């Protein structure tokens, strides 16, 4: 389906001349799917791909491999492993597969696959991701033990986005005006909010009080203006980010 859509766009003029830019992304499950296919978009565009700068916009793809708090939830690792067992996905990255022999499902799982991406992207990752914690705990964390579990989840998320930024290496094949990746991680209990106006334009990461919209704009201009492109809340405590509610802005 993705290749058909991309080829149709090429047939309608995308990549007919140098200078076109394509934002490829999604939210939640769509973000994870976009993560898997991102490095292959130019290839799927065929000959038009050489004239297209592809950039990823990935909202909430960053599944964290952590044992569920709830005894009744099977875990995102088992879900991903099961999906991998019955689909044939050709876009799992050969280097990722080589480094995860016996655990090939890792190459569909955010924590393990994101470090292999070489197409410039911006990733949004809530430190208290409501979808993951809601399933891993069974509801919003409330008790002391549940909040301690959520704090460990947030610590791992912050550590991962920091590593993604520090270890970034763009592919020379994908080189364009934008060559950096960007990471945006607020200390909020929410998930994939870029599709609604308050989440995209009003809530903010209190590291520099930047909204998702502003971060995306800076990312798209980074080929001209540069900059660190890293917005990560450093507070501690469940949903401690001061920009997590539009009322506080």
Q: Do residues 248 and 242 make contact, with C-beta atoms less than 8 angstroms apart? A: yes
HSE, side-chain direction, 13 A CA sphere, residue 209: 3
C-alpha–C-alpha distance, residues 61 and 91, integer Å: 16
Q: Would you mind telling me the total number of residues written for the chain in this entry?
A: 249
pLDDT for residue 175:
54
Closest to 36 measured CA to CA, from 88, 94, 113, 126? 113
Summarize the confidence of residues 46-56 as an average pLDDT: 94
C-alpha–C-alpha distance, residues 66 and 188, integer Å: 19
Stronger pLDDT, 154 or 173, i.e. the higher one: 154
What's phi and psi for 126, nearest 5 deg? -70, 130
Closest to 203 measured CA to CA, from 161, 163, 231, 237? 231
Summarize the confidence of residues 119-135 as an average pLDDT: 98
pLDDT for residue 200:
97
The pLDDT tens digits for 174-211 are 556 888 999 999 999 999 999 999 999 999 998 678 99
Query: To the nearest whole number, what is the mean pLDDT of the chain?
Result: 93
The single residue listed with the structure tokens 């080929």 is: 223
pLDDT above 70: residue 139:
yes
Summarize the confidence of residues 155-184 as an average pLDDT: 88
The pLDDT tens digits for 67-93 are 999 999 999 999 999 999 988 899 999
pLDDT for residue 126:
98
Least confident of 115-119, 150-154, 175-179, 193-197: 175-179
Q: Do residues 68 and 124 make contact, with C-beta atoms less than 8 angstroms apart? A: no
């Amino acid at each position: 389906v993705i290749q058909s859509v991309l080829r149709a766009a090429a047939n309608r003029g995308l990549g007919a001349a140098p200078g076109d830019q394509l934002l490829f992304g999604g939210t939640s499950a769509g973000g994870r799917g976009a993560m898997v296919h991102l490095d292959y978009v130019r290839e799927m565009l065929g000959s038009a791909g050489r004239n297209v700068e592809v950039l990823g916009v990935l909202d909430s793809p960053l599944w964290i491999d952590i044992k569920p708090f709830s005894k009744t939830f099977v875990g995102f690792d088992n879900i991903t492993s099961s999906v991998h067992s019955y689909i044939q996905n050709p876009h799992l990255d050969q280097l990722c597969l080589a480094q995860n022999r016996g655990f090939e499902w890792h190459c569909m799982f955010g924590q393990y696959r994101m470090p292999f991406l070489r197409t410039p992207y911006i990733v949004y990752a809530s430190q208290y991701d409501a979808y993951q914690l809601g399933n891993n705990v069974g509801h919003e964390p409330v008790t002391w033990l549940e909040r301690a579990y959520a704090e460990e989840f947030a610590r791992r998320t912050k550590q991962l986005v920091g590593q993604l930024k520090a270890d970034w290496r763009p592919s020379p094949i994908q080189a364009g005006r934008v060559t950096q990746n960007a990471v945006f991680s607020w200390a909020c209990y929410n998930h994939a909010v870029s599709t609604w106006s308050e989440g995209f334009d009003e809530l903010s990461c209190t590291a520099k009080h930047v909204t998702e919209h502003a971060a995306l704009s800076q990312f798209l201009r980074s080929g001209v203006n540069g900059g660190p492109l890293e917005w990560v809340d450093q507070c501690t405590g469940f949903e401690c980010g001061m920009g997590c509610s539009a009322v506080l802005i």
